[in-house]
Chains A and B, each alone.
Chain A
Amino acid sequence: MITFEAQCARLAEVVGIEEASTLLDWLQAHPQGQLDLSDCTHIHAANLQVLMVKRPTIAALPNHDGLRSWISAALPPQVAA
């Protein structure tokens, strides 16, 4: 489930595949948009590749241990632009 705010998208619990296109659209419309993954437990692979391709700023990593380690590996912190 994703909640979109002005400059922040909050991903919570399980983010399903249908949401990948919404997330992509939002990231294209908000190039400076940040993501809050703290309450997220799983994102579908389609969402993962959206994040890997679009490389948005991750404001908060998931609290969920397993997902956090995967997200960290997939999206290594970038040098701040």
Chain B
Amino acid sequence: MAKKIFLVDDSATMLMSLQNGFEIAGFGVETAVDGVDALNKLKGGLKPDLMITDINMPNMDGIGLIQGTRTLPQFRFMPIVVLSTESQQGKREEAKKLGATGWMVKPVTSADLIKVVKQMLPGA
């Protein structure tokens, strides 16, 4: 089974870039544009193997999304990768404490991300 990656970012450009890279690498990709959208999709039956989320987003940011995701029993163990900027060390640590598995610093290429994802998803 192809592993399913859930990309959450409010930038359509970023989503497109990453989605393209992941799909070429053989992953399935689902996307959401902010935390609220993402949580709705997770509650609506989407079952990704790993979630990648931006921190700065309107409506609900990445921190809120991580908190919300970890309260859903079916996602308590799902790896979550946070995308942040170099200046957001505080946010990264907060995200990690709330249940993020790892982070990548923007700008990030899908190749870098795939590498991290493969280290988190056995069999990917």
Contact = CB atoms under 8 A, between A and B. Distances in A.
Interface of A: 13-14, 17-18, 41-42, 44
Interface string B69-102: 0000000010000000000000000000000000
Contacts of A44: 122
Contacts of B123: 13-14, 41-42
Contacts of B77: 17-18
Contacts of B122: 14, 41-42, 44
Interface of B: 77, 122-123
Nearest to A43: B122
6 contacts: A13-B123, A14-B123, A17-B77, A18-B77, A41-B122, A41-B123
Contacts of A41: 122-123
Given A14-B123, A41-B122, A42-B123, 4 more contacts: A14-B122, A18-B77, A42-B122, A44-B122
Contacts of A42: 122-123
Nearest to B124: A14
A18 B123 CA distance: 16
Contacts of A18: 77
